[in-house]
Chains A and B, each alone.
Chain A
Amino acid sequence: DAGITQSPRHKVTETGTPVTLRCHQTENHRYMYWYRQDPGHGLRLIHYSYGVKDTDKGEVSDGYSVSRSKTEDFLLTLESATSSQTSVYFCAISAVSGAKNIQYFGAGTRLSVL
């Protein structure tokens, strides 16, 4: 295992409520990523981080924000959850820079927005 813990593993919430998902790593890796997985789309990048307090948007960032105040923690926040954000969310980490790299994934958080 790559030392990645996602919490919670499952969450059910109502439309309009704020939700925060947590990714914790014990590997001291520089790069952290948040993806969502939906049927017919594979995994799509939401936000990523290249260091403490350094983050940037991915492909599907609308409605999401992130924060990284410590190397080991990367938080994903849905400020006001919508039903379209029902999905499985994966965190990933990597140590090395560049395209020739491997990302290691957490077990995922299944989020249902009712």
Chain B
Amino acid sequence: GAGVSQSPSNKVTEKGKDVELRCDPISGHTALYWYRQSLGQGLEFLIYFQGNSAPDKSGLPSDRFSAERTGGSVSTLTIQRTQQEDSAVYLCASTFRGREGRVFGPGTRLLVL
């Protein structure tokens, strides 16, 4: 596609429920990143996928968070047993390779009640 797309754009859920957030990177981009942006804060790195290499999960805040990338394209970020502190904007980005030219999606705004 022309850009990185994310769905849903907004998600309201109840505390304790699981949520799945989806990211469609730019076609041909081998690197994919997930970030979390809390209100008034910078971007917090969550996880990084590069080609067929093992993902870097060092930024995931707890074991309730997991992500996968199928077929080297679409990625899903899953948050289990959501907590109110999980409320944030979750951003996905992709690059052709390496660290430069990162293109961000519009984000998913998650609100946990």
Q: Are these two chains actual partners, yes or no? A: no
User: Which residues of B are interface residues toward A (Cβ below 8 A)?
Assistant: none
